[in-house]
Amino acid sequence: MVIKVFLASSSGSTAIKKKQQDVLGFLEALKVDYAPLDIACNEDNRMWMRENVPVEKKPTNGIPLPPQIFNEESYCGDYETFFDAKEDNAVYAFLGLPPPPGSKEAKEAEKAFILENGPVENGTVENETVESETVENGTDDAEDEENLEAEEVEEENLDDDSLKREVPMEFNGDEHTHEVGGETGEEAAEEATEEDAAAEEKVAKEEEEAVKDTEEAAEDTKAPVKQEEAQEEVEDEEAKGEDDQPVSEEEEELRQLEEEEEAPEVTEQEEEDE
């Protein structure tokens, strides 16, 4: 289906030109295929338009003015009816075209169809049957819930009885009876505390051994240092002892002879200088 828009390309009226532009621009925005037919340059188009516009839609003078819109051979309307359809979001209905799915006009058309035609066939009957079934099922569901609660209570009681039964346990080849959750629980708690205490003692011993090892290592490193210091002190004392020893007579005589030999040399040099 092709939309035909009859317009006048050389119209002197600015109002007609503006209406034609509004119609064509809106159709292009909607991506609707249309065919513009000029009545100013084509006499056949003008005559066809005047003949196919309904009488009740013609003005008092009997000459319809552009733009006039047709869907193939069926008349859609003029600018005023097109504008009203645009304001009501019913342009596709005005053009006789199905609205695209998901569009606002399609949603409104679905609502209008439901309001006019009512719900789907047998919808009321189905609703009534569903309501009656829900009422009946409601009582059945309540009874089922009560039965389930009673069964759960019985299972809990059975579980409690089974816990209280005496369970045979073997220790070192002898059979002994213990109640579940009774003495065994206390014994397990005591064993857990004993294991924790043993673990703590073990950790404490390991820490003490580590401290001892570090102290011994420190002492081993200090021992050679002390020995070196003692040896240095002994060497210093020996050096001091040598300095403090008295000078022997022989050494004193040698020293005096050296002084006497040096004295004449000094006097001779002084005389030569004079």
- pLDDT (tens digit, 9 = 90+) per residue, 131-143? 444 445 555 556 6
pLDDT(73) > 60: yes
**Is the per-residue pLDDT at 17 higher than 90?**
yes
Which percentage of the chain shows pLDDT scores above 90?
A: 32
Residue 124 has pLDDT above 60, yes or no: no
DSSP letter assigned to residue 234: H
> What is the pLDDT confidence band of residue 117, given thresholds at 50, 70 and 90?
confident
Q: Which domains does the chain have, with CATH numbers?
A: 3-113 (3.40.30.10)
The string of pLDDT tens digits covering residues 219-254 is 666 556 666 777 777 777 766 655 555 556 777 778
Higher-pLDDT residue of 234 and 22 is 22
Q: When comparing pLDDT for 136 and 16, which is higher?
A: 16
- 3-class secondary structure per residue, 56-104: HHCCCCCCCCCCEEEECCEEEEEHHHHHHHHHCCCHHHHHCCCCCCCCH
Show the CA angle centred on residue 130, arms to residues 117 and 109, nearest 5°.
25
pLDDT at 200 over 90: no
